[in-house]
A and B are shown apart, each in its own frame.
Chain A
Amino acid sequence: MKPLHYLTLVLLILALIIALVPQNTTRPYKLTADQLLAEIRTGTQFISPDEVADKIIQKDPSIQLIDVRNPREFDMFSLPGAINIPLQDILSENNFDVLNQGTKMNILYSNGSTEANEAWLLTRQLGYQNNYVLHGGLNYWMETILNPSQPGNIAANDEIARYDFRKAASMALGGGAVSAIVPASDQGAAKPKPGVVPVKKKKKASGGC
């Protein structure tokens, strides 16, 4: 056989293989399952409503609120300065620059935590950083920030301080007025009750060590 015939054979076989195998279009996952599991277990992606409220009131330029609900719900109510990236568009090329960047802190939110957390899971798996999830979602936000419940008389000092902060935040962020709108936007009958964890201490007790 002439060299050209060998070349023909080799190239044709390789080309046939590459033509027949499905194209590798999957974006390579950057984290192993173990790494991701560890992150999920520690829950580092969650950011508390108080922290977010504080940042919004302070007009912190380093945060970007991202609403992952559908545009209809976004139009009805959204947090101040939020942009809308519905969950189904989370992998779209147009949103790549927003979600994968190293300067801003993206805070994803949905009605509960689920959708925002799903969005976070996808972006984290792709190796994007700086994406966080509003803990408890908008439902919990309503409960804690916009309509805070008064702690009992024997509550600890920091609980009362937190209540005071939430009351102030509620005024700053227009609580009460919006509280009537959001339940209307959730037309589903069985609105998942946000996982209202009995409010634990937000920050670890300092001192000691």
Chain B
Amino acid sequence: MGPLAVNDIISSNTNFFLAFVIGIGFGFVLEQCGFSSSRKLAGLFYGYDMVVLKVFFTGGVTAMLGLLFFSLFGWVDLNLVYVNPTFLTSAIIGGLIMGAGFIMGGFCPGTSFCGAAIGKLDAMIFIVGLFIGVYFFAFGYPLFETLYKSAPMGSPKISTMLDLSDGVFAFILVVIALGMFYVSEWIEKKFPREEY
């Protein structure tokens, strides 16, 4: 069984088609969650709306449990699932830039396209900025290359670093996620803001 290895089980055209369908589904869900509103996204940083955190943690935890169960049933061979290699320095710096852009612009790359799709001007401006950033990085790549490729770690797993089984780590992560859900409920009550 899976994963659907490209050029092995499915063709690359089928791969693009599946990506297209999944992309539409992803955009639809983002929009329906209200992620096309930058106020909702900014709410995460001001504490009046924690839905972003809840949605992404639910998504992550669901995918994690799903993959582990699929592997348990022998439906997916986790050894064949591609994991993006980790480059620690660029991950930290990229995370900081992304976070700063998130607060300033009120969107993340995915939600900016959702916002643009329903006609929000600020989202469209955000996309222009996004492309400027992409070009800046692409043409300045020789400048950033050493930084970009520093601290390569392969594809590590936190569970192996902590010497835990994947299942036990998944359980711990689920408990953390649930704890964050309750904490964010509490934060939302503490910093209410009804007018947005």
Question: Which chain B residues border A21 with CB–CB below 8 Å?
Answer: 72, 167
Question: Which chain B residues border A12 with CB–CB below 8 Å?
Answer: 174-175, 178
Contact with B along A1-15 (1 / 0, CB 8 A): 000100110011011
Question: Which chain B residues border A18 with CB–CB below 8 Å?
Answer: 65, 68-69, 72, 166-167, 170-171
A15→B72 contact, CB < 8 A: no
Distance in angstroms between the alpha carbons of A8 and B71 in the assembled complex: 23
Interface assignment of B77: CB less than 8 Å from any CB of chain A = yes
Distance in angstroms between the alpha carbons of A12 and B58 in the assembled complex: 12
**Which bracket fits the contact residues of A?**
10 to 19
Question: Which chain B residues border A28 with CB–CB below 8 Å?
Answer: 1, 74, 77
- CB of B57 to closest CB in A, whole Å: 10
A4→B171 contact, CB < 8 A: no
A-side residues, CB < 8 A to B, are: 4, 7-8, 11-12, 14-16, 18-21, 23-24, 27-28
Interface assignment of B122: CB less than 8 Å from any CB of chain A = no
B182→A24 contact, CB < 8 A: no
B-side residues, CB < 8 A to A, are: 1, 58, 61, 65, 68-69, 71-72, 74, 77, 79, 165-168, 170-171, 174-175, 177-178, 181-182, 185
- The count of A-to-B residue pairs whose CB atoms sit within 8 angstroms is 52
Distance in angstroms between the alpha carbons of A16 and B182 in the assembled complex: 19
Question: Which chain B residues border A4 with CB–CB below 8 Å?
Answer: 181-182, 185
Distance in angstroms between the alpha carbons of A8 and B166 in the assembled complex: 20
Question: Which chain A residues border B65 with CB–CB below 8 Å?
Answer: 11, 14-15, 18
Question: Which chain A residues border B166 with CB–CB below 8 Å?
Answer: 18, 23
B165→A8 contact, CB < 8 A: no
A19→B170 contact, CB < 8 A: yes
Question: Which chain A residues border B79 with CB–CB below 8 Å?
Answer: 27
- CB of A26 to closest CB in B, whole Å: 9
Question: Which chain A residues border B77 with CB–CB below 8 Å?
Answer: 27-28
